[in-house]
Structure 1
Amino acid sequence: MAAYDLYGVKDISIIVAKLNVEELLGVSFEERESAYQGGVYYRFDGEGGEGFVLKENIDPFDGEAVEQLFSEYPVLLYVDKTTRSDEIGDFLNIKFCLLRHELFD
């Protein structure tokens, strides 16, 4: 089963969050820009379709939080299609808060 997890972090910028995730998980983000993602965001594509997207929790069109239920988290990390959710969580829980965990076949 693949997991789709959402993490949030408070009190640090997206740049500091990027550096923290890269260090904790040993990945290297690629900077991208997209109106859909709210401007500059960071992406990592791993093995087997696993992917991470790190972005600010702001909708550029209306200024509201993209994730309304978690509006107090200004920076979000989406971990998509992972089979190592527990392992990633063990590393990230030092600075990031798990906001949502969904399993799919």
Structure 2
Amino acid sequence: MAAYDLYGVKGLTILEAKLKVEESLKLSFDERESTYQGGVYYRFGSDESEKFLLKGNVDPFDGEAVEQKFSEYPVLLYVDMTVRSEEVRCLLSMEFCLLRHELYE
């Protein structure tokens, strides 16, 4: 069963959050830029398997929070199609708050 998790972080810039995730999970993000994603964002993984996406919580078109229910978190980390949700949560637990956890078969 794959999980789709959303984490939020306060008190860190997106670059600081990137470094924390890379250190905690032993991975290396690719820097990307997209108007749709709100400018610079970071990605690790592929569309066919586990994927991490780190971005700001600001919609570039209206300036509102992308995740309105979690507008107090300026930086978001999406963890998609993971089978190690609990492990990731434990490794990120110091600064990152699990905001949403959804399971799919």
- Corresponding residue for residue 69 of structure 1: 69
What are the equivalent positions in structure 2 for 1:46-57 lying under 5 Å apart?
A: 49-57=49-57
Q: State the 4+ residue runs in structure 1 displaced beyond 6 angstroms.
A: none
Give deviations 1:18-69, integer Å, cap 9, x for gaps: 00000000000000011111111000006x6000000000000000000000
- Overall identity of the aligned pairs, in %: 69
Scaled by the length of structure 2, the TM-score of the pair is: 0.97
Aligned residues: 104
Which amino acid in the other structure matches residue 99 of structure 2? L
- Corresponding residue for residue 90 of structure 1: 90
Note if 1:104 corresponds to 2:97: no
